[in-house]
Amino acid sequence: MDILITGSVAYDYLMTFPGHFKEQILPERLESISLSFLVDSMSKQRGGIAPNIAYTMALLGERPRVMATVGEDFEEYRAWLEEKGVDTNLMGVVPGMFTASFFATTDRASAQIATFYPGAMGYGGTQSLKDLKSIPDLVIVSPNAPDAMMKFPAECRELGINYLYDPSQQVLRLEGHELARDMEGAHFLFCNDYEFGLISKKTGWSLDQMLDHVRTLVITRGKDGADLYSGMDAVHIPTVPENEIVDPTGVGDAFRGGFLTGYSRGFDWKLCGEIGSLAAVYCLEQRGPQSHNYTREEFINRFRHHFDDDGKLDALLNGLTTGKSYRSNNERSNS
């Protein structure tokens, strides 16, 4: 399956604060909040939602395409992604611009405060799906420049391309009618439980009402796993026990990468989610969204300590698809 991922590409500057943010906040002074945190570590990591998702897919044997705008400082990052198996031919360099940058500080409770500089990402809307030489089977619409976030779903609808709508951090700036417009007819909606609450509040739609507009809804819930809803089907995906918690940055992206790998192989929803669950834990156990690494054999062996794949994951070892879809009748009828 040809999966094209659109979204941010960034360098991540990750810092750790040895205390708790909540202890530094005075509720009665929120209108004049002024805080500065002395951190005890900082690292620079390759990040951005689009390559984060692609990186995990590549680890599992896929070769996803990423379409994004990047800065003149991107060439080392490009070489890294290509070496790992990500197709970067659609990642365009914007002259005179830096690649986007993400600055995140995480406290002892894994709470996070972050800021984002868009840089070259601000030119994302200059790209178009209409310029592609080959039409993908699925387009991932993840956080990007605002005009790109509006443009790509519209082009998918116009061209008849299935798309996964993943507004993520952009939920805060999107209005209810904008969310509703781009959820309408989406093949997937991905969000975490907090984002789901915001989407519901802004659109006025309950979960059941969302499923009248979106074919499949996936809600990640941190340590409580994830829930997938498709038509009348509902599947809960538990988490995999971690060896240690190091850094939550990029965990949701790794989940998406694992899930989409299963989806591209025609696996059932439960198995797709379980692959995503394990991929997420590998990311959680390392610092940075692209520091985790494993062979496919190692991944499958660890998977089978927690889940039963009935031998289906053997297909990951040789790059083969299953040859048929194991998903629900509802999914097949809507594909």
Please report which confidence band the pLDDT of residue 317 belongs to, taking 50, 70 and 90 as the band edges.
Answer: confident
Please report which confidence band the pLDDT of residue 328 belongs to, taking 50, 70 and 90 as the band edges.
Answer: low
Determine which helix (DSSP H) or strand (DSSP E) holds 263, and give its type and residue range. helix 251-264
Q: What is the mean pLDDT of residues 147-159?
A: 97
What was the pLDDT predicted at 14? Answer: 84
What was the pLDDT predicted at 297? Answer: 96
Separation of alpha carbons 277 and 270, rounded Å: 10
Per-residue pLDDT for 323 more than 50?
Answer: no
Q: What is the mean pLDDT of residues 298-327?
A: 82
Separation of alpha carbons 249 and 113, rounded Å: 11
DSSP assigned state of 220: E
Separation of alpha carbons 13 and 204, rounded Å: 36
What was the pLDDT predicted at 44? Answer: 87
Q: What is the mean pLDDT of residues 278-295?
A: 95
Any idea which residues carry the catalytic annotation? 253
Q: Domains of the chain, with CATH numbers? A: 3-23+40-334 (3.40.1190.20)
Please report which confidence band the pLDDT of residue 332 belongs to, taking 50, 70 and 90 as the band edges.
Answer: very low
Per the structure block, which two tokens stand in for 107?
């406290």
CB 256 within 8 A of CB 288: no
What was the pLDDT predicted at 334? Answer: 46
Separation of alpha carbons 114 and 120, rounded Å: 19
CB 284 within 8 A of CB 255: no
Please report which confidence band the pLDDT of residue 325 belongs to, taking 50, 70 and 90 as the band edges.
Answer: low
Q: Can you give the pTM of this predicted structure?
A: 0.87
Please report which confidence band the pLDDT of residue 226 belongs to, taking 50, 70 and 90 as the band edges.
Answer: very high
What was the pLDDT predicted at 232? Answer: 87
Separation of alpha carbons 104 and 110, rounded Å: 11
What percentage of the chain has pLDDT greater than the value 90?
Answer: 81
pLDDT digits (tens, 9 = 90+) for 57-109: 999 999 999 999 999 999 999 999 999 999 999 999 999 999 999 898 999 99
pLDDT digits (tens, 9 = 90+) for 136-151: 999 999 999 999 999 9
- With a CB cutoff of 8 Å and minimum separation 6, the contacts of 21 are 37, 107, 109, 111, 113
What was the pLDDT predicted at 224? Answer: 96
